[in-house]
Amino acid sequence: MGKIIALAMPKGGVAKTTSAVNLSISLANKQKRVLLIDADPANQCATAFGLPDDPEIGTLFGVLNYSQSCEEAINTTENPYFDILPFKNISYEEELLLTDISFDNQLFNNLVKPFIGGYDFVLIDCPPTLVGMTANVLNIADSVLIPVKSSMFSISVLPKLIDRIEKIHKNGNPRLHIEGIFLTMHELNTRAAFEAKKELYKLFPNDMLTTAIPKNITAEEASFLHDPVIIVEPNAKASIAYNQLADELIEKNLSMHQDTFQSFADTESLDEL
């Protein structure tokens, strides 16, 4: 079983989706098997990749309303390391249905988790809330990767998210932990960005990742070309930063796996005594 990482932050426009799509491709390019799940009814991972609004395409909504199994809904892509499960472009009536079904916090546990064990990384893009789909995702996730835009408004909602993660960790999903916090749309040489970084390191010294994603107009423009910036312009500043962030994630989880292997090895050698 690989690692299930939720990209969550109860604040809109902080680059959850941009980070989920670019990190997915970067990890896949490094030959990690990646599944990207869009848990946001806004369905913007599909927009980021220019996926057509085609009933033939498997969707998370199809899985959650029992019309498709997760196995048949997951879409392969031309990148052999990258699969995707978009949300679905839902109608008003479907959104009402979703409000009803998402009260069941075990939905993902029952309908999604049993089918995603074959990947190295499962990245799940969450909506900008803590209830509904996000609550469901946090029940099955191993960790939360938290993008924070370099602004005080963005930082001020972090304690609410951290508190939620701690409560879920204590009361239902003991695997859940913070993968890391990273800055997005970071502008070097501005007072606001400097203050944001200082504040974050003061509040969360152990959770900060070293990579910050710079504000980069090419990243914004890429969405009009229907592909993430890392595909459209691999040498753009944001693409280079997302590759660094992917390396940081791999490194972090590799050392975690090595610790696990080491403790297995220790156990075996103890058995031999």
DSSP state of 123: E
* 109 burial type by CB count under 10 A (0-12 exposed, 13-18 middle, 19+ buried): middle
Give the position of tokens 């504040």.
Answer: 199
Check: CB of residue 85 under 8 Å from CB of residue 68.
no
* Closer of 20 and 68 to ligand ATP (Cβ): 20
Could you tell me which stretch among 6-14, 162-170, 173-181, 249-257 binds ligand ATP (CB under 6 A)?
6-14
**Spatial separation of the C-alpha atoms in residues 101 and 96, rounded to whole Å:** 9
Q: Pick between residue 165 and residue 219 the one whose CB is nearest to ligand ATP.
A: 219
Nearest to 167 by CA among 255, 103, 105, 104: 105
To which residue do tokens 């199809």 refer? 62
Smaller CB separation from Mg ion, 71 or 95: 95
Q: Are 148 and 181 in contact (CB under 8 A)?
A: yes
Q: Is 14 in the site for ligand ATP (CB under 6 A)?
A: yes
Closest distance to ligand ATP from the beta carbon of 222 (Å): 7
Residues 16-45 that bind ligand ATP (CB under 6 A): 16-18, 40, 42, 44
The residue from 219, 231, 246, 249 that contacts ligand ATP (CB under 6 A) is 219
Phi, psi of 240 (to 5 degrees): -60, -40
User: At closest approach, how far in Å is the CB of 42 from Mg ion?
Assistant: 6
Residues 104-133 that bind ligand ATP (CB under 6 A): 128
Residue numbers at the binding site for ligand ATP (CB under 6 A): 12-18, 40, 42, 44, 128, 184-185, 213, 215-216, 219-220, 223, 238
Contact residues toward Mg ion (CB under 5 A) are 16-17, 44
